[in-house]
């Protein structure tokens, strides 16, 4: 249990708490990217470089990208249940009208 490992684990806890405590999904996507980077550093310190590369690719690139794309897609796409009048109104980033 080297000090470096303890520091990396503490940083992981802080990063995880940060991801949960940021409420807006758009900002969570960016914090998720940083958290993915912290996790991959932890994996390298534990001696698992393959897992760290996978984590970097998936957690820091793919997941934030897909979260942001899903937010855009669901913000603009009207559902069948919304009325015509509601559909004509522009929605903001969180999907609320206005």
Partner 1 sequence: MSRQIRLVVFALSAAAFFVFFVAAARGLPGFGTSHHPYGARAIHAAVAARATANTVSSVNFDQRAFDTLGEEFILFASVIGAVVLLRAEPEEAADSGESPRWRAPRVLAATRLFGYLMLPVTLLVGSYVVLHGQLSPGGGFQGGVVLGSAVHLLYLTGDYAALRAARPMDGYEIAESLGAGTFVLVGLVGLLGGAAFATNMLPYGTLRGLGSGGIVPLLNVAVGVAVGCGMVVLLAQFFRQDLELRVRGARGSAR
Residues that bind partner 1 (CB under 8 A): 1, 49-50, 52-54, 57-58, 61-62, 65-66, 69-70, 72-73, 76-78, 87-91
Please, which residue, 24 or 54, has the CB nearer to partner 1?
54
Q: What is the closest distance, in whole angstroms, from the C-beta atom of residue 60 to partner 1 in the complex?
A: 10
Written as six digits, the tokens of 47 are 């001696």
Q: What is the closest distance, in whole angstroms, from the C-beta atom of residue 78 to partner 1 in the complex?
A: 7
Counts for the chain of helices (H) and strands (E), in that order: 5, 0
Taking a C-beta distance cutoff of 8 angstroms, is the pair 34, 49 a contact? no
CA 41 to chain centre: 17
């Amino acid at each position: 249990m080297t000090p470096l490992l303890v520091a990396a684990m503490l940083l992981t806890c802080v990063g995880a708490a940060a991801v949960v405590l940021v409420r807006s999904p758009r900002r969570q996507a960016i914090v998720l990217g940083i958290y993915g980077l912290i996790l991959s550093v932890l994996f390298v310190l534990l001696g698992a470089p393959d897992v760290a590369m996978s984590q970097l690719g998936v957690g820091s690139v793919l997941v934030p990208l897909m979260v942001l794309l899903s937010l855009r897609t669901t913000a603009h796409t009207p559902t069948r249940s919304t009325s015509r009048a509601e559909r004509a109104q522009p929605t903001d980033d969180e999907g609320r009208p206005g």
